[in-house]
């Protein structure tokens, strides 16, 4: 095996300790995949709220207890605890940063009751970035690369190149910054920048419309930038619809910017081994998939009917995911011969709309507002189709999960959806694509899928084409290792 690299993988969420979306899954599975290639990747993330330390096997590390750092002139205490993430034959160590000033609440980015972003998110993630660098020497483990993810980790590259530039332990560490979602930028007033203690040139590089962007700062200072699909890498660099005002800096960095598609952890998201579903099945046992559907529908008191397709949605309820289209399309869609289950939480306006329309169509539509990992697996296993009409989609994991569960994706042709879904008209087609962000195109495409569903042979071909694909991490983990190699 080739010599591996020491990599510290810095992330604001990791399943099963914290999760709002796909970043948590990626932060769990990519480090393990990298480790099985001979790298030594350790993860570091905040420890939010009151985790069940016994169940999650989180341990104290004596050396990393009662540490402190100074931020904006104020001393803050913290400890680092340790745990391991395990796969079938893989694992990765995770450091969980415990601090009562910033991470005692259960919410990750928002107050779970008011759904407002924490007003001190600037300080919470400034503190996180600083703590990551401050503990390195105490750890006595030196990473070759710090792999940062999204704006919450965005100050690390700039810190290394400014405040820590003469620190012998830190100065030659390289950075990779992965954009999981360019739209969440971590933009704060200039007064937030002052708290970082970094020189003014960093504000100049990272400012956006007069404010300070953690994301842009990372784009300016990271040694390499990646995002989570090739298509999204192109979209954000060349198309104002996707670039969030970052097109200039991304174009400037284009030789350091690449797209590496996310993978899937098939020890977790795989109907053959999934312990969270009622009936496990392979592509040769599709009738068992229908048994899952029967169970799930009966749970929601919807009558099972072999000829009525079940449409699933699992999503953050935000504009990114195309909920304006779903809102407009639902009344029409409810006139068709369909059953539908939507699981999600997010913007109040979508939650209200969904609960209201559910009342009208109780016999065919079930809405679950909340975050429910078990139900997410059951919906993947039971549905015939899965909708992702995203406005933009850096990668998207749910369409890849759907493919493996024989749940045919109906998606907008953008970002990672475009890189993974092949239109049904093609010989190896695995799903349904539409181009324009319009309710009409979306509805027409669903109707095409509903028509095809009636032709069992054709439908099963599309479903099997999807189930046979391999989106495991192998290929992508090799690409990341190759990227580290160019740096070290
Ligand atoms: P994003 O990260 O933009 O939300 P992805 O498709 O990459 O989109 O990943 C979403 C992940 O979050 C999937 O694992 C999905 O199952 C999960 N998820 C989203 N909303 C919920 C929910 N309400 N309950 C359970 N899981 C959810
Ligand atoms: C972001 C994106 C999603 C991607 C996930 C993991 O949340 O919205 O498309 O799959 O990150 O990279």
pLDDT in tens, 205-237: 999 999 999 999 999 999 999 999 999 999 999
Candidate of 9, 15, 18, 23 to mutate for ligand 2, largest count of ligand atoms within 8 Å of Cβ: 23
Q: What are phi and psi of 49, to 5 degrees?
A: 60, -155
For residue 277, the model assigns a pLDDT of 98
Other Cβ atoms less than 10 A from the Cβ of 45: the count is 25
Contact at 8 Å (CB) between 158 and 215?
no
345 CA distance to ligand 1 centroid (A)? 10
Among the bound ligands, name the one nearest to the CA of residue 149.
2
Q: 340 phi and psi, to 5 degrees?
A: -150, 140
Assign 2 a pLDDT band (cuts: 50, 70, 90): low
Least distant ligand from the CA of 370: 1
Instruction: Kindly identify the ligand whose nearest atom is closest to the C-alpha of 11.
Output: 2
pLDDT tens digits for 470-487? Answer: 999 999 999 999 999 999
**Cα(326)–Cα(350) distance, integer angstroms:** 10
Q: Is residue 404's pLDDT more than 70?
A: yes
Confidence of residue 40 (pLDDT cuts 50, 70, 90): very high
Whole-prediction pTM: 0.97
Classify residue 413 by burial, with Cβ atoms within 10 Å: 0-12, 13-18, 19+. middle
Domain range summary for the chain, segments of one domain joined by +: 6-263+473-487, 286-467
Give 124 Cα–ligand 2 centroid separation in angstroms: 22
| Residue whose CA lies nearest to ligand 2 atom number 10 | 396
Q: Is 260 in the pocket of ligand 2 (CB under 6 A)?
A: no
Residue pointed to by tokens 């799903």: 431
How many Cα atoms occupy the beta-carbon half-sphere of 338 within 13 Å?
25
Residue with tokens 């749910």: 398
User: What SS3 class is residue 65?
Assistant: coil
301-322 confidence digits (pLDDT tens): 999 999 999 999 999 999 999 9
Asked whether this chain's domains 6-263+473-487 and 286-467 adopt the same fold, the reply is: yes
CB atoms within 10 A of CB 313: 24
Distance 273 CA to ligand 1 centre (A): 20
206 lines ligand 2 (CB under 6 A): no
Q: What pLDDT digit, counting tens, does each position of 266-314 carry? A: 999 999 999 999 999 999 999 999 999 999 999 999 999 999 999 999 9
Retrieve residue 334's tokens. 């409810």
* Ligand 1 atom at minimum distance from 388 CA: 6
Ligand 1 centroid from CA 316, angstroms: 6
Class of domain 6-263+473-487: alpha beta
Q: Stretch 192-212: mean pLDDT, rounded?
A: 98
Which atom of ligand 1 is the closest one to the Cα of 343? 23
286-467: CATH topology is: Rossmann fold (3.40.50)
Radius of gyration of the chain (CA): 23
119 Cα–ligand 2 center, Å:
24
Residue 316 structure tokens: 């953050």
Q: What average pLDDT does the segment 243-253 reach?
A: 96
Q: Is the confidence at residue 181, as pLDDT, over 90?
A: yes
343 CA distance to ligand 1 middle (Å):
10
pLDDT of 85 over the 90 cut: yes
The verdict on the CB of residue 393 being under 6 Å from ligand 2 is yes
Instruction: Looking at the CA of 399, name the nearest ligand.
Output: 1
Complete DSSP assignment for 81-147: EEEEEE-SS-EEEEEEEE-TTTS-SS-SSB-TTT-PBPTTHHHHHHHHHHHHHHTHHHHT---SEEE
Question: Using CA positions, which residue lies closest to atom 3 of ligand 2?
Answer: 396
Q: What is the mean pLDDT of the chain?
A: 97
> In the structure, which protein residues have their CB atom closer than 6 angstroms to any atom of ligand 1?
21-23, 25, 314-316, 343-345, 371-373, 376, 395-398
Query: Which spans in 383-438 are helix H?
Result: 398-404, 415-420
Taking a C-beta distance cutoff of 8 angstroms, is the pair 175, 221 a contact? yes
The rounded percent of the chain whose pLDDT value lies above 70 is 99
Handedness of CA 209, 147, 482, 83 (dihedral sign): negative
Per-residue confidence (pLDDT) for residue 153, from 0 to 100:
98
Q: Buried b / exposed e across 114-142, counting CB within 10 Å, b at 16+?
A: eeeebeebbbbbbbbbbbbbbbbeebeee
């Amino acid at each position: 095996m080739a010599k591996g690299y020491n990599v510290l993988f810095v992330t604001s969420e990791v399943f099963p300790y914290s999760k709002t979306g796909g970043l948590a899954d990626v932060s769990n599975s990519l480090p393990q995949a990298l480790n099985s290639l001979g790298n030594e990747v350790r993860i570091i993330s905040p420890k939010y709220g009151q985790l069940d330390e016994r169940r999650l096997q989180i341990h104290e590390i004596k050396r990393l207890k009662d540490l402190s750092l100074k931020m904006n002139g104020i001393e803050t205490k913290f400890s680092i605890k340790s745990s391991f993430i395990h796969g079938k034959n893989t694992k990765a160590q995770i450091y969980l940063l415990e601090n009562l000033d910033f991470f005692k609440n259960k919410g990750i980015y928002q107050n779970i009751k008011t759904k407002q972003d924490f007003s001190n998110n600037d300080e919470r993630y400034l503190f996180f970035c600083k703590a990551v660098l401050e503990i390195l020497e105490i750890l006595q483990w030196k990473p070759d690369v710090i792999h940062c993810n999204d704006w919450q980790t965005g100050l690390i590259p700039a810190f290394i190149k400014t405040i820590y530039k003469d620190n012998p332990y830190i100065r030659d560490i390289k950075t990779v910054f992965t954009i999981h979602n360019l739209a969440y930028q971590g933009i704060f007033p200039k007064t937030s920048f002052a708290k970082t203690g970094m020189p003014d040139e960093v504000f100049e590089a990272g400012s956006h419309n007069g404010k300070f962007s953690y994301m842009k700062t990372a784009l300016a200072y990271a040694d390499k930038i990646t995002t989570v699909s090739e298509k999204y890498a192109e979209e954000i660099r060349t198309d104002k619809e996707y670039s969030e005002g970052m097109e200039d800096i991304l174009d400037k960095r284009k030789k350091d910017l690449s797209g590496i598609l996310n993978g899937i952890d098939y020890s977790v998201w795989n109907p053959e081994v999934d312990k969270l579903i009622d009936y496990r099945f392979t592509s040769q046992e599709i009738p068992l998939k229908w048994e899952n559907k029967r169970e799930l529908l009966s749970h929601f008191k919807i009558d099972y009917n072999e000829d009525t397709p079940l449409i699933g949605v699992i999503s953050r309820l935000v504009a990114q995911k195309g909920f304006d289209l779903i809102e407009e399309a639902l009344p029409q869609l409810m006139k068709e011969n369909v059953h539908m289950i939507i699981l999600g939480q997010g913007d109040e306006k979508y939650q209200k709309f969904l609960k209201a329309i559910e009342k009208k169509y109780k016999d065919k539509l079930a809405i679950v507002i909340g975050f429910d990992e078990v139900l997410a697996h059951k919906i993947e296993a039971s549905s015939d189709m899965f909708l992702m009409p995203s406005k933009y989609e850096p990668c998207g994991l749910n369409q890849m999960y759907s493919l493996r569960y024989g749940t045919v994706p109906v998606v907008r042709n953008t970002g990672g959806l475009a890189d993974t879904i092949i239109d049904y008209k093609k010989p190896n087609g695995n799903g349904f694509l539409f181009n324009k962000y319009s309710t009409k195109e979306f509805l027409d495409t669903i109707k095409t899928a509903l028509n095809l569903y009636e032709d069992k042979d054709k439908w099963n071909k599309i479903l099997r084409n999807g189930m046979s694909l391999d989106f495991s991490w192998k290929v992508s983990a090799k690409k990341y290792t190759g990227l580290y190699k160019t740096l070290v």
